[in-house]
């Protein structure tokens, strides 16, 4: 169960961030209202939410998940793979240090939190355009010191691992067709997003509730038999910048006694 989340408000330069989308630039009024709805949703699920101010000069900084990997024992400050995002970690350290002792990914390692999926004491680490082998090795070593196991998955499609693979409870993974049947998730039941609904794979499990992007009725129908409450949130202005629900927060479990 999560007790706390850290988020960051998108800044006025948000439309200048990194994206592969050819869609129109984000509407800032809608961007901010969608962010506020996201924060309200987390609070409704019992989380205390810290909302950090915009980080001037870092238009992608609202995607705070990429800057750290957090377990009960430690917060790992990442080393984002996109050069324009390298300075973002300095803006998360103070907020995270109030909750956890910190470790760091060091050069030449690169690592984005969007490539990291935790399922209990097991981690799936995506090696992608943003996370390299050395970053994966360092993270696995840091987590291993606290009793976590790690599996490395090569990400050939999508920006991050969690663009295509997420845990939705009940020993079940929600995946895109590219990851269906992957050996690393053998033993998990798999729900495959229908063609055209791949973006819905970025669905977030928080305290027994599934938060999914709005507008993906076929994927929702596949998730409903899990018996979990489902909340849909509009993320249209984040999809324009290659972002999704998991990217917008760092979720923290209570610290160990």
Looking up tokens 């907020």 gives 95
**CB distance 20 to 219 below 8 Å:** no
pLDDT digits (tens, 9 = 90+) for 119-139: 999 999 999 999 999 999 999
Domains of the chain by range and CATH? 4-252 (3.75.10.10)
Where residue 58 falls among pLDDT bands split at 50, 70, 90? very high
pLDDT value at residue 159: 83
pLDDT value at residue 151: 96
**CB distance 201 to 165 below 8 Å:** yes
Residues noted as catalytic: 160, 247
Over residues 25-46, the mean pLDDT reads 98
Looking up tokens 């027994």 gives 208
What SS3 state is found at 126?
Answer: strand
Backbone angles phi, psi at 41, to 5 degrees: -65, -45
**What's the whole-number average pLDDT of the chain?**
96
**Token pair recorded at residue 79:** 């080393």
pLDDT digits (tens, 9 = 90+) for 85-94: 999 999 999 9
pLDDT value at residue 164: 96
**Token pair recorded at residue 238:** 């984040």
Residue 51 has pLDDT above 90, yes or no: yes
Over residues 195-223, the mean pLDDT reads 98
The DSSP output letter for 79 is B
Residue 189 has pLDDT above 90, yes or no: yes
Closest CA to 190 of 247, 70, 68, 182: 182
pLDDT value at residue 52: 98
Residue 196 has pLDDT above 80, yes or no: yes
pLDDT digits (tens, 9 = 90+) for 154-177: 998 778 999 999 999 999 999 999
């Amino acid at each position: 169960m999560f007790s706390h989340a850290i988020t960051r408000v998108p800044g006025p330069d948000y439309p200048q961030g990194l994206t592969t989308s050819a869609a129109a630039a984000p509407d800032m009024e809608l961007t901010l209202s969608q962010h506020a709805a996201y924060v309200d949703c987390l609070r409704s699920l019992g989380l205390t939410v810290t909302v950090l101010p915009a980080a001037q000069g870092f238009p992608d900084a609202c995607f705070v998940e990429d800057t750290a990997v957090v377990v009960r024992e430690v917060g790992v400050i990442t080393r984002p793979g996109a050069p324009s995002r390298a300075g973002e970690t300095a803006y998360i350290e103070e907020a995270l240090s109030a909750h956890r002792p910190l470790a760091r990914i060091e050069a030449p390692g690169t690592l984005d939190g969007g490539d990291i999926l935790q399922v209990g004491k097991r981690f799936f680490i995506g090696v992608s355009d943003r996370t390299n082998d050395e970053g994966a090795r360092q993270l696995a070593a840091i987590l291993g010191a606290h009793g976590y196991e790690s599996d490395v998955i090569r990400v050939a499609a999508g920006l991050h691992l969690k663009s295509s693979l997420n845990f939705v409870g009940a020993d079940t993974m929600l995946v895109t067709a590219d990851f269906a049947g992957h050996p690393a998730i053998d033993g998990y039941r798999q729900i495959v997003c229908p063609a055209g609904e791949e973006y819905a794979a970025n669905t977030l499990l928080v305290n027994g509730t599934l938060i999914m992007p709005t507008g993906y009725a076929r994927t929702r129908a596949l998730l409903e038999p899990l018996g979990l409450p489902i909340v849909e949130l509009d993320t249209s202005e984040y999809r324009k910048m290659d972002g999704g629900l998991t990217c917008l927060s760092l979720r923290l479990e209570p610290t160990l006694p």
